[in-house]
Structures are given as C-alpha cells and as structure tokens.
Amino acid sequence: MNILAYTMEEILDPTNILEGQRYEFLLDLETDEEDELFENGGVDLRVIVAKNEESITIADYFFVQTADKKILDFGLEEDEEQEVLTFVKQHVTAGE
C-alpha cells in the first residue's frame, strides 16, 4: 500500500463537545492488482484523527472506491494501521 497523495482538513466542532482537535485525511492509495483492495477506479482511505494534548490517534477510518465513493468493507492490518498513523502524525504535527 503506497500513499500517492493526500488532503488534510481540520474538523471544527462548533458545540465544543469533542475534546481536542479532529482532522480528516483522504489518502489516495496505490494498490497492486493482486491485492484484495484493488479497484479499477482506485481506492481512497478516509481517516479521522483525534489530537488531544500530545496524543495523536486514529479515531476511525474506512476505505472508499475513488470512482463512486462506495464504502468498502475492509480493515487495515496492524502494520498498515501503524504506517498510516505515522503518516498522519507527521502531517498533523507539521501543520501546526
């Protein structure tokens, strides 16, 4: 799984119910044709990140077909989740 491009947007909470900050990442993924995630139109990974004090964690994520925005029922493997967490931590920290 390679990340080709990404967007990052802060999610604002006008009610102040959520503690800390939230960010939404949209990761454009490159997948091998042999991978079960492979889709002809491409696959994106939407990641919701929670930042509280010095802790940055993945709150939620889901795979989406790029072409029609259909949600795919797949999960990240443990090493892939760690790779994504490292990526988002770098960009959240750099964006401050």
pLDDT tens, residue by residue, 60-78: 999 998 888 888 888 888 9
Closest CA to 65 of 74, 53, 55, 52: 74
pLDDT tens, residue by residue, 30-55: 877 666 565 566 789 999 999 998 79
Residues in the chain: 96
Q: Is 92 helix (H, G, I), strand (E, B) or coil?
A: helix
Q: Which two tokens stand for residue 32?
A: 């091998």
Q: Which two tokens stand for residue 61?
A: 């994520």
Tell me the β-bridge partners of 28: 5, 44
| Average of per-residue pLDDT values in the chain | 86
Please compute the mean of the pLDDT values over residues 16-38 and round it to a whole number: 81
pLDDT at 5 over 90: yes
